[in-house]
Amino acid sequence: MANNNESIKLINFKVVARTLTIVENDLDGAEQILRDLEFKKDVPVIGITGPPGAGKSTLVNDLLGELTSKNYKVAVLAIDPTSPFNFGSLLGDRIRMAGHYNHPEVFIRSLATRGSLGGLSAKTIEMTDVLRASGFDYVLVETVGVGQSEIEIAGLADITLVVLVPEGGDEIQNIKSGLMEIADAFIVNKADREGAALFANNLKKMVQQKDVLIPVFKTIASQNNGIKEIVDYITLPPESKNSHRELLFAEKAYQLIRQKRMEGINKAMLLKSIKASLADPDFNLYDFVAKTLIELKN
């Protein structure tokens, strides 16, 4: 659990923002910055994931209010979907968190997914570690909801909160095939809607089948209802929650190694190359991939 007494020291947000920009864009000095990081192992990363429309950003906004009321310094990394067509990103989460944008204890940064399936990229890991080393008590990572690939968050977060809504009854099947394995807690948001109690009860029955008890919280984020209980859970000592430390670091290492192996290739480059190759009437995708791999090795 974060040590609230250590929050007294000031964090230079301009320096943090500049450092994140260097790391995100692989500018000169980025690798050295990462290798010189002082890892704050007691700074929890809270992953918040779930389908689009579940109210994740509103929930994060409420969590910020509750955590800052306890004098915690909190950083938020909001992951936005990158368009597969123009490689741009909406980067709009800071608007939904406008109430905390100028709060002296809150730092908010948006990051495009860069085409990563699960809404996460190796850059997310690197930037999260920069935030952990910057003096914050908690780092919240809100991921884009894109179905079962949300499971990638398990390789990043110390605590993974999966946000669902009552209308998502069919999502119970999706939970069985993946999300159940990575959730440290479920949040049924918009719990004032019809069917919320039944949905939450069905969810509780499912989690009771697990060896480790997984909490199910009911919230109405738009009314700040149920948020205190989630913060109480987040701030529990680490030993009282599920622990997957080895898995966490193995997944981080895998993502970072994969990024290094993929250096020099990106979707924009592939799109340009594919466009030229498609002019050949004998175009073959697998032949194109094989030639591209050879070019990357040379």
Residue-wise DSSP of 133-198: TTT-SEEEEEPP--GGGGGGGGGT-SEEEEEE-TT-TTHHHHIIIIIHHH-SEEEE-STTSTTHHH
pLDDT of res. 135: 92
Q: Which pLDDT belongs to residue 170?
A: 56
For 26, residues 6+ apart whose C-beta sits below 8 A from its C-beta are none
Domain 4-259 fold is Rossmann fold (3.40.50)
* Residue bearing tokens 């067509």: 85
- The residue extents of the domains of the chain are 4-259, 264-297
Phi, psi of 250 (to 5 degrees): -65, -40
Q: What is the pLDDT of residue 154?
A: 66
**What distances in angstroms separate CA 106 from CA 137, 207, 266, one per listed residue?**
10, 33, 33
Residue % of the chain over a pLDDT of 70:
72
Could you read off the pLDDT of 149-172 as tens digits, one per residue? 455 676 678 898 989 888 755 556
Provide mean pLDDT across the span 84-98.
51
Nearest-CA neighbor of 44 among 183, 238, 251, 244? 238
Q: In the predicted model, is pLDDT for residue 7 greater than 50?
A: no
- Tell which wins on pLDDT, 15 or 202: 15
16 vs 87 pLDDT, higher one: 16
Q: Which residue has the tokens 């809150």?
A: 106
Q: Is the pLDDT of residue 192 over 90?
A: yes
The amino acid present at 68, given as its one-letter code, is T
pLDDT higher at 21 or 180: 21
Q: Which helix (H) or strand (E) holds 261?
A: helix 245-261
Residue partners of 132: CB distance under 8 A and separation at least 6: 39, 40, 43, 45, 139
DSSP tally for the chain: helices H, then strands E? 12, 7
User: Which is nearest to 207 in space by CA: 237, 234, 242, 232?
Assistant: 242
Is residue 111 pLDDT above 70, yes or no? yes
- Model pLDDT, residue 149: 47
Predicted confidence (pLDDT) per residue in 213-238, tens digit: 789 999 999 899 999 999 999 998 86
- Is the pLDDT reported for residue 143 higher than 60? yes
**Dihedrals phi, psi of 80, to nearest 5 degrees:** -110, 145
Q: Which of 4, 40, 13 is nearest to 107 (CA)?
A: 13
Determine the pLDDT at residue 53: 81
More confidently predicted of 125 and 245: 125
Mean pLDDT of 106-123: 69
Identify residue 45 by its one-letter amino acid code.
Answer: V
> In this predicted structure, what is the pLDDT of residue 213?
79
210 has a pLDDT exceeding 50: yes
Of 253, 195, 2, 1, which Cα lies nearest the Cα of 105? 2
pTM over 0.75: yes
In the numeric block, which tokens belong to residue 257? 């190694």
Distance CA 37, CA 249 (A): 16
Question: Residues 6 or more apart from 270 whose CB is under 8 A from it?
Answer: 292
Most confident range, picked from 78-92, 253-267, 282-296: 282-296
Which range among 110-114, 121-125, 234-238, 290-294 shows the weakest confidence by mean pLDDT? 110-114
Question: Which residue is associated with the tokens 């909801």?
Answer: 145
pLDDT at 169: 56
Angle at 123 between CA 118 and CA 124, to 5 degrees: 55
pLDDT on residue 168: 59
